[in-house]
Amino acid sequence: MIELNVNELVKFYGANKLFEHISFEIKTGERIGLIGQNGCGKTTLMKILMGIEEYQGGEISLRKDNKIGYLNQIPVYEKSATTMDVLRMAFAAVYLLRSQMEELEHCMGLLEGDQLEKAMNSYSRLLEQYELKHGYEVDTRIDKVTGGLQIDAQMKDMLFEQLSGGEKTRVILAKILLEEPDILLLDEPTNHLDLVTIEWLEGFLQEYKGAALIISHDRFFLDHVVSKIYELEFDHVEQYLGNYSYFVVEKERRFLIEFRNYQNQQRKIERMEQQIERYRIWGVMRDSETMFKRAKELEKRLEKIEVLDRPVVDKRKIRLNQKAIGRSGKLVLELTGISKAYGERELLHDINLGLFYQDSACIIGENGSGKTTILKMILGEETAEEGTIRIGANVVIGYLPQHVAYPDEEQTVLEYFARLHNLTNGAARSQLAKVLFLQEDVNKKLKYLSGGEKSRLRLCSLTFEGANLLILDEPTNHLDVDSREVLEETLLEFEGTLLFVSHDRYFINKLADKIITIEVGTIQEYDGDYAYYQEERKKEQDKLISRKLNNTEGNSPKQDKKAASVGTERARW
């Protein structure tokens, strides 16, 4: 069943046309990824569907009584509203029914005869509506969603306005999920979520009964949640019946077909033009009206051909300055017995870690588990209470932080790079071209660079300086898909050693050959990519469940009773 239909949509900003001829539909239960280049109008399209933005042409048809839920902006609530108050707004109709039922319950004790019967009939109708809306399951549903999105009891009691931006986003996401709209519009839902929470959200959306249209730069998330991709372009929406990985392969296949068709048509046009020229030459040589007539007929046929546009794909490659990178020793980095505490809270305990030449290792863990702290200790920005950190022979460290900033952002890219490395403009241009700063790009001021461009410029500097150990802290944060892919390509070209923290599982899977997990202050290493790590974790969990079942089956009734008693005592504490 079609839940929403968009036909020939047109959007202007002033005199500038953002897009036109936009047509698509959303069917019941579909989960669709909406992708496209930055600035193509993805968020604007969602706002149009919600009625927040106007449009200048086309039609939008929504199935009768359909509800749409939209995650983008943070609403403003009363200053006295707690997080729990905001979450309960998802069940305003249920709480109204409950209030009316309680009022009738109170009145029924005071009524008699016909009035009592009338009140009981009203109560019965309200109870039926209450059960249809799953009123008795409200608290369970709230606990399920808030537990999955890591909204704990303390956070529920806090005033909503006192929460951080990321916490507010999580609460609004929880509220929308609890409302269970017929169509979910989610704009970057994984922002401000850690890996555990993202995986929970994936599972929730996989089981969601309604439809969902999702804008996301998290390609792993799109792979696991959506079954259709809509690519928004200026003059149409291109559909792909698969997840993100399917889209990448299928888009390449379609491009090759389009390019082949373009080449075939160009050859046909060229042959026709040559034949026209020959007819004209023969007409002159033989003084033949017939030849001129044939040339004219062929010209008319040529004019009727709808000439295909030449397909264009950006295949520019990154080329890092590998010659400047010196070879480090085999052992690049060694952490022995590292412990770190903040006050009475021990963050890391007895950490032992070895990193070797050309390793590409990713550190993962929940927010606040100590990932960035480890990086800062290696960089000398933090000190450990116990243990030693040893840097290997000939190791030159380069650091790419989450947010790349420059001291004087009024400088152009060329001025900055040339002055920093004491180069002529020509030599600086040559180095910058390797990381796709071409022609007029080098004259852009630093303050106007995107997050991806700033990261690219920083990487160019680090490799030019000879860094052979790159330490990266959430390098894909705030980057669009295109920028992430350019960064991945850049790092895949790097011939040194990588140590990075990331929540982007697609990025991790593409780059990492070692996964380092932090849990409860300790680390565990997995020699493989993210997919291998997931397989190993599943095996570990299956073994743990099996061991628990075996232990339970092996207990005597007396032991079971004792185990239950111990469990009860622990639960009290």
Residue-wise burial string across 508-527, b where 16 or more C-beta atoms lie within 10 A, e elsewhere:
bbbbbebbbbbeebebeebe
**Structurally, how many domains does the chain consist of?**
5
pLDDT in tens, 273-322: 999 999 999 988 888 889 999 999 999 999 999 888 888 765 555 566 66
Last residue of a domain, one of 208, 242, 276: 242
Contact 199, 150 (CB under 8 A): no
Nearest one of 217, 208, 174 to 33, comparing CA atoms: 217
Q: Considering the entire predicted model, what is its pTM?
A: 0.75
Q: What is the DSSP letter of 447?
A: G
The string of pLDDT tens digits covering residues 9-31 is 999 988 889 999 999 999 999 99
DSSP state, 478?
Answer: T
Contact assessment for residue 334 and residue 392, using Cβ atoms and an 8 Å cutoff: yes
Rg (CA), the chain: 31
Buried b (16+ CB within 10 A) or exposed e, 220-232: bbbbbbbebbbbb
Provide the pLDDT confidence category of residue 73 given band limits of 50, 70 and 90.
low
d(CA 321, CA 281): 57
Residues 371 and 483 in one domain: yes
* pLDDT tier at 569, thresholds 50, 70, 90: very low
Q: If pLDDT is split at 50, 70 and 90, which confidence band does 323 have?
A: low
Helices (H), 133-243: 138-148, 153-157, 165-179, 195-207, 219-225
- Interhelix angle 138-148/195-207, rounded to 10 degrees, is 140
Question: Does 190 lie in the same domain as 170?
Answer: no
Query: Under 8 Å CB-to-CB from 264, ≥6 apart: which residues?
Result: none
At a CB cut-off of 8 Å and minimum separation 6, what does 255 contact?
A: 311, 313
Tokens for 474, please give them.
Answer: 């959430």
Secondary structure class of 133 (helix, strand, coil): coil
Angstrom distances, CA of residue 533 to CA of 196, 369, 546? 14, 18, 20
Q: Cα(19)–Cα(11) distance, rounded to whole angstroms?
A: 6
Cβ contacts of 489 within 8 Å, gap of 6 or more = 317, 318
Beta bridge partners of 524: 517
Count the neighbouring beta carbons within 10 Å of the beta carbon of residue 503: 22
* Same-domain check for residues 331 and 438: yes
Structure tokens at 367: 């927010």
Is residue 363 within 8 Å of 499, Cβ to Cβ?
yes
314 within some domain:
no
pLDDT confidence of residue 316: 56
Q: Which of 26, 11, 94 minimizes the C-alpha distance to 66?
A: 26
Q: Is 61 part of a structural domain of the chain?
A: yes
Given a contact cutoff of 8 angstroms between Cβ atoms, the answer to whether 214 and 43 are in contact is no
Let me know whether 466 and 557 are in one domain. no
**What 3-state DSSP class applies to 484?**
helix
Looking at the predicted structure, is the pLDDT value of residue 571 above 90? no
Same domain, 194 and 289: no
CATH of the domain at 342: 3.40.50.300
Please indicate, yes or no, if residue 39 is contained in any of the structural domains. Answer: yes
Domain assignment of residue 309, yes or no: no
pLDDT in tens, 187-234: 888 877 888 888 899 999 999 999 999 999 889 999 999 999 999 999
453 with 376, same domain?
yes
pLDDT at 181: 93
Q: Which two tokens stand for residue 535?
A: 């397989």
The rounded distance, in Å, linking the Cα atoms of 419 and 407 is 13
Residues 45 and 1 in one domain: yes
Percent of the chain residues topping a pLDDT of 90: 54
Higher pLDDT, 315 or 419: 419
DSSP code per residue over 371-422 = HHHHHHHHTTSS--SEEEEEE-TT--EEEE-SS---S-TTSBHHHHHHHHTT
Same domain, 268 and 382: no
Q: Which two tokens stand for residue 449?
A: 């660079």
Report CA 488 to chain centroid distance, whole Å: 15
**DSSP conformation class of 353:** E
Residue 378's nearest CA partner among 406, 417, 348 is: 348
User: What integer pLDDT is reported at residue 544 of this predicted model?
Assistant: 85
Whether residue 337 is found in the same domain as residue 204: no
CB burial of residue 556 (10 Å; 0-12, 13-18, 19+): exposed
Q: CB atoms < 10 A from the CB of 49, how many?
A: 21
Q: Identify the three-state secondary structure at position 524.
A: strand
The whole-angstrom separation of Cα 533 and Cα 537 is 6
Residue 69 confidence (pLDDT) above 70? yes
The amino acid sitting at 67 is K
Please tell me whether residue 474 adopts helix, strand or coil conformation: coil
Say if CB 325 and CB 373 are below 8 A apart: no
Distances (CA, A) of 410 to 426, 450, 478, 566: 21, 14, 22, 66
Query: Number of C-alpha atoms within 13 angstroms, CB side, residue 470?
Result: 33
The DSSP letter of residue 73 is S
In a domain, 396, yes or no: yes
Give CB contacts under 8 A, 24+ apart, made by 98-106: 98/130, 98/135, 100/126, 101/126, 101/127, 101/130
Does any domain span residue 313?
no
Which has more pLDDT, 544 or 512?
A: 512
Give the residue, 190 or 554, on which the prediction is more confident. 190
* Residues 6+ away with beta carbon under 8 Å from 482: 37, 38, 452
Q: Which residues fall within 8 angstroms of residue 376, CB to CB, at 6 or more apart?
A: 382
State which amino acid sits at residue 415. Answer: E
Residue 431 domain-assigned (yes or no): yes
Which of 230-239, 433-442, 485-494, 558-567 is least confident? Answer: 558-567
Residue 570 banded pLDDT, cuts 50, 70, 90: very low
Contact at 8 Å (CB) between 445 and 474? no
* Parent domain of 92: 74-180
Instruction: Look up residue 556 and give its two tokens.
Output: 């005597």
Instruction: Tell me the mean pLDDT in the region 493-509.
Output: 91
| Same domain flag for 388 and 480 | yes
> How many angstroms separate the CA atoms of 65 and 374, rounded?
52
In this structure, the answer to whether residues 170 and 31 fall within a common structural domain is no
For residues 97 and 223, state if they share a domain.
no
Contacts of 111 (CB under 8 A, 6+ apart): 119
Q: What is the DSSP letter of 445?
A: B
Query: Which strand ranges, in their side-by-side order, compose the sheet holding 68-71?
Result: 68-71, 183-187, 211-215, 31-35, 228-232, 237-240
Q: How high is the pLDDT of residue 554?
A: 58
Within-domain flag for 122? yes
